[in-house]
């Protein structure tokens, strides 16, 4: 791991000395990078052994920290997690460089087997934000705490609320926020309809077979 370039960039976002001893969230990042590195090994008994080691470490971190970042997800360098706990990333998620996560963040699908988000570079998530479905979050976006994002968010925008709407955008057409609000409302209607259909199921979406979010 010492020569893994992505891991080295991750460490720059944990400036304290000996961050592995002080930041439990970094354990989850390290295990994720370790798993990605093992996947690049040539097929051999050594790779199979190290894959077993990875899965053991993954389950330990998932259980102790309540943080699930599978190695099959693609995450760019510079991942930073502030405050671990209840963080779930879908295995098929794509996340760009310098992403910032906080406790309670969920990035996943809206239906079992459904599409998952694509997250751009330099995106920051507030605590307990949820980003669901086959949507795109542009570069430099901020997702507010407790927000539920169900539609695309353009580059440089800030999205807050349930469902999330755009409250700030650095560039672009002045009418764009209204259009995005209409899209969010439309997505929310569709989401509520889905919930009515599946109200008998206590769980509304899944993390590759693992139950992640409860329907109240």
pLDDT on residue 155: 95
pTM of the predicted structure, to 2 decimals: 0.76
What's the confidence (pLDDT) of residue 201?
A: 40
Query: 165-169 and 148-149: which strand pairing?
Result: unpaired
CB of 207 within 8 A of CB of 108? yes
**Which sequence spans correspond to the domains of the chain?**
1-71, 86-200
- With bands split at pLDDT 50, 70 and 90, how would you rate the model's confidence at 178? very low
Q: Enter the CATH code of domain 86-200.
A: 2.160.10.10
Give the pLDDT mean for 192-196: 48
Torsion angle of the four alpha carbons 147, 79, 48, 211, in this order, in degrees rounded to the nearest 10: -10
Smallest Cα–Cα separation from 8: which of 35, 23, 29, 25? 29
């Amino acid at each position: 791991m010492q020569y893994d370039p992505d891991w080295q960039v991750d460490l720059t976002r944990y400036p304290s000395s000996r961050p592995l001893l002080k930041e439990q969230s970094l354990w989850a990042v390290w295990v994720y990078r370790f798993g990605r590195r093992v996947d690049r090994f040539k097929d051999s008994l050594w790779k199979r052994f190290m894959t077993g080691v990875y899965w053991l470490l993954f389950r330990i971190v998932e259980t102790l920290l309540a943080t699930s970042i599978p190695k099959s997800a693609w995450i760019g360098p510079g991942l930073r997690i502030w405050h671990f706990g209840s963080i779930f990333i879908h295995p098929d998620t794509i996340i760009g460089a310098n992403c910032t996560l906080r406790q309670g963040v969920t990035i996943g699908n809206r239906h079992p087997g459904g599409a998952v988000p694509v997250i751009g570079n330099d995106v920051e998530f507030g605590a307990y934000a949820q980003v669901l479905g086959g949507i795109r979050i542009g570069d430099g976006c901020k997702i507010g705490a407790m927000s539920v994002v169900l539609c695309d968010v353009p580059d440089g925008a800030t999205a807050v609320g349930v469902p999330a709407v755009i409250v700030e955008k650095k560039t672009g057409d002045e009418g764009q926020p209204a259009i995005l609000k209409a899209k969010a409302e439309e997505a929310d209607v569709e989401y509520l309809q889905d919930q009515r259909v599946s109200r008998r199921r206590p769980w509304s979406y899944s993390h590759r077979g693992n139950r992640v979010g409860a329907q109240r």
